Structure 1
Amino acid sequence: MAASQLTASSVSVSARNLVSFEGLKPSAVKFASFGVLKPGGLSQRSFQGLVVQAATVVAPKYTSIKPLGDRVLVKIKTVEEKTGGGILLPSSAQSKPQGGEVVAVGEGKSIGSKTLDITVKTGAKVVYSKYAGTEVEFNGESHLILKEDDIVGILETEDIKDLKPLNDRVFIKVAEAEEKTAGGLLLTEASKEKPSIGSVIAVGPGPVDEEGNTKPLSISPGNTVLYSKYAGNDFKGSDGSNYIALRASDVMAVLS
């Protein structure tokens, strides 16, 4: 029995409902043909081009980007193409960066009649939430426009253990996973449960209330805490230790 052939030389999704700005154009990824369909499947038809939006590209005629409000423009750190031992990494194995350098900041956040200045300054090396912001290609380099609240902390060295958390963030060194069960059985790596207990390394100054005042956190460095298992952003230190940065509201209890 013959099969129906479906071809798609140009497949695209309309951007009619997307907001457009002069000088900004989305880069596109085009998909090849769909291959062969069996009888009884979709009827033979063609589409006018399926496009997946990636980073927004700023036209060369624009020479600067000025973030507004409490937004920050960060130049994304280049993805590592080699391991520490010099082995080349395929693109699928390269971890997406979660850090970069602040290159521009907005005028600040408005709370009532007050405007609070942005606490991060240009030139600062920052770590941000993994899925935050909008990626922009500007001057041939990848940038991210995100809100200040999406910045996890400032990193003054190359080691994540020195992260200085911002706002209501708490930075925790994760406890080692248990090697044995209560009955003394050795656990394999696959059966070890991810710990949700750790020691607080550093805390942010605290959240800002509606009057613009900072409220200090009740958690202190040195506390051993129990936190929500699926919260925050995970990091691996240069010493092999695991760390997590999360909001104070995701810390459920202090252990003693």
Structure 2
Amino acid sequence: MAAAQLTSTCFVPSYDGLRSSASKASSVMVALPFGSFKLKSTRGLVVKAATTVAPKYTTLKPLGDRVLVKIKAAEEKTIGGILLPSTAQTKPQGGEVVAIGEGRTIGDKKVDIGVKTGTPVVYSKYAGTEVEFNGLSHLVLKEDDIVGILETDDVKDLKLLNDRVLIKVEEAEETTAGGLLLTQATKEKPSIGMVIAVGPGLLDEEGNRAGLPVSPGNTVLYSKFAGNDFKGADDSEYIALRASDIMAVLS
């Protein structure tokens, strides 16, 4: 049976501080029998997930421990100046706090929101509800979904909140145990790294910080698909994740 070959090219996002970049992944060749598929144009198809707030509403006040964040605009070019199509632009993970709720109650203690308006923050990848408000993209999320405060372009300056931990990822092995050189595509993503900074810990039932089981300088084994990935100013890979995603301390 005759077969058709489809070549697909995708963009793999990475982070340089909070600035996104994209690199071209290897093409994938797929063999399919003729007559078994149809190609249908999707040009003009727009999927808009955000909730649009009508212009007649001029104020959006978050409730409880929720925060309103104005989303940082997606990068339209790579660091090398290559223009990115909208489908390849990386979804931002940072923005500016523009409104906060009144906080929450733990036991008989009132706990205020840990960030203030105007604070630049980094938040979890898939957190919150996106809304279009005053013509701009915003995110309504819980305070616990905020990873930390970042006032510079260097992720090492990230001030972590709650139970978050910042880890410098150990570099991937360049060769196999038998000495074979690994290509970029075949290098296994590391899940070992050194703790750079830790947050103050979660609040217990009495409103006190419980602390974390790891400290800066510890080498740890963590869950492979957890946290937010970043590239630091030193070109090293970093990951910010919850302490509960760390499985062991290595020595």
Q: Same fold (TM over 0.5)?
A: yes
Which of 96, 108, 113 is the equivalent residue of 1:118?
A: 113
Higher-Rg member (1/2): 1
Deviation at 1:189?
Answer: 1.5
Structure 1 residue 53, shift from structure 2 partner: 5.6
Secondary structure of the residue aligned to 1:225 is: strand
* Aligned mate of 2:221, from 226, 230, 233: 226
Match of 1:86 among 81, 84, 106: 81
Distance 2:210 2:235 in 1: 34
- Give structure 1 stretches of 5+ with no counterpart: 1-50
Is residue 163 of structure 2 the alignment partner of residue 168 of structure 1?
yes
Q: Secondary structure at the match of 1:187?
A: coil
Structure 2 match to 1:106:
101
1:241 corresponds to: 236
Q: Which amino acid aligns with 1:231?
A: A
- 1:15 matched to which residue of 2? none
C-alpha distance in structure 1 between counterparts of 2:81 and 2:176, whole Å? 38
Shift of 1:112: 2.3
Cα distance in 2 for partners of 1:247, 1:112 equals: 24
Indicate which of 181, 184, 204 corresponds to 1:186: 181
Distance 1:93 1:159 in 2: 23
1:253 to 2:248 alignment: yes
What amino acid does structure 2 have at the position aligned with 1:246?
A: L
What displacement does 1:195 show?
0.4
Name the aligned partner's letter for residue 139 of structure 1. N
Note the C-alpha offset of 1:52.
5.8
Matching residue's letter, 1:184? G
Encode CA deviations 1:76-101: one digit per residue, 9 max, x unaligned: 00111112232211112210000000
- Give CA deviations for 1:14-38 in whole Å, capped at 9, x if unaligned: xxxxxxxxxxxxxxxxxxxxxxxxx
User: Relative contact order (alpha carbons < 8 A, sep ≥ 6): 1 or 2 greater?
Assistant: 2
Q: Which runs of 4+ in 1 moved over 4 A?
A: none
Looking at structure 1, the residues matched to 145 and 95 of structure 2 have their Cα atoms a distance apart, in angstroms, of 13
Q: Which amino acid aligns with 1:241?
A: S
RMSD of aligned Cα (Å): 1.6
Partner of 1:17: none
Cα distance in structure 1, aligned partners of 2:217 and 2:98: 34
Q: 2:179, 2:49 → 1: CA distance? A: 50
Deviation larger for 147-156 or 230-239: 230-239
> Helix, strand or coil for the counterpart of 1:189?
coil
Partner residue in 2 for 1:59:
54
Structure 1 residue 139 displacement after superposition = 0.8
Structure 2 equivalent of residue 18 of structure 1: none
Give the Cα separation in 2 of the matches to 1:173 and 1:99.
20
